[in-house]
Amino acid sequence: MKMRSQIIALGLAGVAAAAATGGIGLLSGRHLGGTIGDVIGTSQALQHSQEADMMHDAVRGDAQLAVLGALQNEPARIDEAQKDLREHGQNFEQQLKALRALTPDATTLAALDAVEPKVRAYLDTASRVVAGARSNPAGVQQDLQALQASFLALEDAMEQLSDSITGNYRLQSEAASAAVAQTQWLIAATMLVTGALLAGAAFWLS
């Protein structure tokens, strides 16, 4: 083989090695990007779940404020409780809606399906407490007991939902860490192999 042909062959081998390294890096990066995207989505789902937990407590606080307003004969507190309840209830439902859009796995969806009707029942009971505080203060204690029972039933369902999301987040974080390590080792191995081949070809040419 003539010197010119050997130099051309060595150059083409270098181009092929660079293309192989870049292609492997590109494919690994795409896979890694998808894994990290899953982690980000699950992290957002966890944030929505935590916000929903906050609304779970806030709704009960609104009903209790209305009852306190009724007992102390302060209609302004009942008005405040009614306004806050409306806002917290809307936020509660929005968080669950956003959570459903970010939830791909069947286990979490099943937990969410169990939560949603309990949320509606809970909000309806809280609305009755607030309305009763205005119209029938003497009978509001019975509605408040019903609210507590609804609160506890929803708490168990939301705990299962939160556990499912947290478990998914942990698994996906571990998968992302493994994907990062795999990508690093794969690119390093490819560079070592192609570097060794090019060095051997250079020595052969010399």
Tokens 């806050």: give the residue. 84
Average pLDDT over residues 185-201: 72
HSE of 105, CA atoms in CB hemisphere, 13 A:
16
CA distance 73 to 138: 12
Rounded to the nearest integer, the mean pLDDT of the chain is 80
Per-residue confidence (pLDDT) for residue 122, from 0 to 100: 94
Average pLDDT over residues 182-187: 72
- Per-residue pLDDT reduced to its tens digit, 113-147: 999 999 999 999 999 999 988 887 777 777 888 88
HSE of 141, CA atoms in CB hemisphere, 13 A:
2
In angstroms and rounded to an integer, the radius of gyration of the C-alpha atoms of the chain is 30
Closest CA to 130 of 68, 69, 63: 63
Percent of the chain that is helix, strand, coil (3-state, to 5)? 95, 0, 5
Torsion of CA 24, 28, 31, 36, to 10 degrees: -160
Residue 182 has pLDDT above 90, yes or no: no
Per-residue confidence (pLDDT) for residue 179, from 0 to 100: 64
* 62: confidence class by pLDDT, cuts 50, 70, 90: very high
